[in-house]
Structure 1
Amino acid sequence: MSTSTIALVTGGNRGIGRSIVEALAADGRDVVFTYNSHEAEAKEVVDAVAARGRVAEAIRLDVTRPAEFPGFADTVRRTLRTRWDRESFDILVNNAGFALHTPLGGTDEETLDRLFAVHVKGVFLLTQALATAPEGASPLLADGGRIINSSSGLTRFVTAPYAAYGAVKGAVEVLTRYWAVELGGRGISVNTIAPGPVNTDFDGGYLRDENLQQIFGGLTALGRVAHADDIGPAVAALTREGTGWITGQRIEASGGFRI
């Protein structure tokens, strides 16, 4: 049986998710990660982890389809047994997500449903499928494990027109505190990481605009917007030995944006 620490990261094929996967691998962890599309990118991440001397497995998952979660959990269990001779993993990072503009007076029901499906319903039901089990069965997330939920600086500061995105991320932060209590008896810590502006393909990659980078950098204590590789190591740090007593917390990784 492998003694490796194993993490499961949703949305690990690009952007912040990929940075999280690679940072965990750099810390000596093996990783199972999900992707919804862009299979070629997922393969690149598997290869990047292998180049660090660790093992990664990519599994396709659409987090807006809760009916697939039991089958996904079965696939994870088989993967753990086959690749690591394990029945559980140690770290869950709920990272998958997206953002859309939602101005009041210009937002339809479908947009709200999509945001809720990914950031609240999907996070809740997938965590439930992985971190709990019926009586007599063992959960996939091991006792003493860690859960890191992805939120946003937009729950603290207001940048229109992201009202709905900020609201669903606020719900994630509330879930984090509740789960810290519900899972605390098993020694599982649950925290939220909240990035500020990050130069990725978030919302169409709008922060690749140099003028916006200058504006947002001027509002940031460290003088620039973040890159994905500023966030992955921050997530990995929350899973290291010695941080297990931190739980129920919102940790903002924004470089001091608008403080």
Structure 2
Amino acid sequence: MTYKILVVDDEPQIHTFIRISLAAEGFEYMGADSLAMAKEKLTTFQPHVVVLDLGLPDGDGISLLTTIRQTSKTPVLILTARDQEEEKIRLLEAGANDYLSKPFGVRELIVRIKVLVRDLVSEFPFEDTLSFGRLKMRKSTHQCWLSGEKVILTRKEFAFLAMLMENPGQLVKQTCLLREIWGPSHTEDTHYLRILISQLRKKLNDSADEQLVIKTESGIGYRLVSMEDSSG
């Protein structure tokens, strides 16, 4: 399994040496140089660990930490030039898992990332797999099966289906889906969802008339249909 690391920092040279070092250790790297880009990558890249600098051009990184903690337990390692004890305590209380003071050595950074990954695996050993009715998904490998048959999905199709499976049988509002998959500036772009759903139904052999897998609540959102619902 390849673990995905999102690095949020506005210094290109830091991205360069972290990217090379992560690749050498078998991690998958994704970079962001602003809060706005980081929020987008959190949804599209779905990292296992976030490495976050506080001094970003469009705001303080601690606001992103707060956003992450409101929705997930994704480990966050803070990079900071603020070396005061009070500041470190504030970061830990805000939900940071670890911090590293700048300047730092890349070997220490990699070791700290490995520790966070190890702790993540031991704390959530079964969270990687989602199952509902005839559907099964594995988030770490972006694999999906319907009635035991593998289904090839795009990243956005996978993200859409994962959000429904994380809320089994419950209605997921289209505004929430648009915000999480395409970003906060696209909450009115419902045609994005219509196109995605059309392609996804073809892959799941789920006609718009029968809706045996995904139920559309017109103008509101979508929910998954269980085997019992679809058979009766």
Shorter chain as denominator, the TM-score bin is 0.3 to 0.5
Q: Determine which structure has the larger strand proportion and give its number.
A: 2
**TM-score, with length taken from structure 1:** 0.37
Higher RCO, 1 or 2 (CA under 8 Å, sep at least 6)? Answer: 1
Q: Which has the larger radius of gyration?
A: 2
**TM-score, with length taken from structure 2:** 0.41
